[in-house]
Amino acid sequence: MKPILISMVAAAGLMVAGSVLAVDMPAEGQSKCAVCHAIDKKVVGPAWNEVAAKYKGDKDAASKIAANITKGGAFGWKLGIMPAKGMGASDAEIKSLSQFIAGLAAPAKAKAAAPAKGEAKKEKTK
């Protein structure tokens, strides 16, 4: 029980660190995808920033990206063939990575401001 708790705390710490830096690849991405991908530059596959741009404004972006990662293949980048699930990512990892990639489309500033927007609206209606 105890080691599990400790690793959960450690994972939470990593997540906090990741959100502070905002553009750091999540740990599962580092181990399962980084041989072919980087966030801001093309490696073997496209830069995840560019993938985010491709799906910008698509509310189903995360699920479409997840489907493509899961099945692998070619998605029109003409860079080659991506292996299904990268280097063996689990479905849960694919889900969180897809959300991460889709989230890159929103500028960091807008993301940080998102919760405040709702509050601002409330204030207006007062």
78 binds ligand HEC (CB under 6 A): yes
**Segment near ligand HEC (CB under 6 A); pick from 4-12, 13-21, 81-89, 109-117:** 81-89
- CA angle at residue 112 from 47 to 14, to 5 degrees? 65
Total number of residues that touch ligand HEC (CB under 6 A): 27
- Between CA 103 and CA 56 the distance in angstroms is 9
- Interface residue with ligand HEC among 69, 96, 104, 105 (CB under 6 A) is 69
Q: Which of 14-22, 83-91, 105-113, 116-124 is the region at the interface with ligand HEC (rule: CB under 6 A)?
A: 83-91
Contact flag: residue 75 with ligand HEC (CB under 6 A) = yes
CB 65 within 8 A of CB 98: yes
Structure token digits, residue 43 = 């490696």
In the complex, what is the shortest distance from the CB of residue 106 to ligand HEC, in angstroms, rounded to a whole number?
Answer: 16
Separation between Cα atoms, residue 25 and residue 48, nearest integer Å = 10
Which spans of this chain sit near ligand HEC (rule: CB under 6 A)? Answer: 32-33, 35-37, 44-46, 51, 54, 65, 68-69, 74-80, 82-83, 86-87, 89, 97, 101
